[in-house]
Amino acid sequence: MHKLVLATNNRHKLEEVAQMIGDKIELLTLADIGFTGDIDETGTTFAENAGIKSRYIFEKYNVNCFADDSGLEIDALNGEPGVYSARYAGTHGDHEANMDKVLKSLEGVTGRKARFRTVISLIWNGQEHLFEGTVEGTIRPGRAGNGGFGYDPIFEPDGYTITFAQMSMDEKNAISHRARALNGLIHFLESVD
């Protein structure tokens, strides 16, 4: 079984990824390899930010690893919050303030088309491989649901009448942007010896 480090300190992301990967890969955390710091995401795209994190861990610990960068892109806001999704309202990880800012920015706007996008950067034996996943949807005028994290309570995926936050983790993982990118990663790992 392949061992692979997931370069994140985000507990929610770890839970989602662990559930999706199951027993296909031995998933190690940053804590498992003794890393407790933060890695600055200074890129201007999801691919750049994911690559910064995965390369940093590979170069420092010489372990196969992957990192992702994800965010919400809203057409009416010219793709914002995009790579700034986690800190859109100013403070990193303040989900309530971030949602408030989005909802206020969209007051009176009828076109609320949006998508979640994930890019995974895998460093495998020193080579970078990128995997991308998106899920299209719309931004609801208010919050609904208590599950998930981030913008999940205001994002309704196409084909559904509920938000990500109203879905079980299994339901969300079946269609999410992260699941789609992870499926590409898993297929790649199944093809290597």
Indicate which CATH number applies to the domain containing 102.
Answer: 3.90.950.10
The number of domains in the chain is 1
Residue 145, pLDDT score: 95
**Confidence grade of residue 12 (pLDDT, cut at 50, 70, 90):** confident
* pLDDT at residue 169 tops 70: yes
Q: pTM for the full model?
A: 0.89
User: In which domain, by residue range, is 39 found?
Assistant: 3-191
Phi-psi region of 82 (alpha: psi -120 to 50; beta: other; left: phi over 0): left
Residue 192, pLDDT score: 80
The residues annotated as belonging to the active site are 69
> How far apart are the C-alpha atoms of 86 and 78, rounded to whole Å?
17
- Distance in Å from the first CA to the final CA of the chain: 10
pLDDT in tens, 48-74: 999 999 999 999 999 999 999 999 999
Question: Where do the DSSP E strands lie in the chain?
Answer: 3-6, 26-28, 65-74, 113-124, 127-139, 155-157
Residue length, the chain?
193
Q: Report the amino acid identity of residue 126.
A: G
Structure-token pair, residue 174: 């079946």
Q: Report the amino acid identity of residue 50.
A: A
* pLDDT mean across residues, the chain: 91
Residue written as token pair 């339901």: 171
Residue 165, pLDDT score: 96
- Once rounded to an integer, what is the mean pLDDT over residues 1-8? 84
Residue 1, pLDDT score: 67
Q: Could you tell me which residue, 51 or 27, shows the higher pLDDT?
A: 51
Question: Where do the DSSP E strands lie in 21-161?
Answer: 26-28, 65-74, 113-124, 127-139, 155-157
Q: 191 near 29, Cβ under 8 Å? A: no
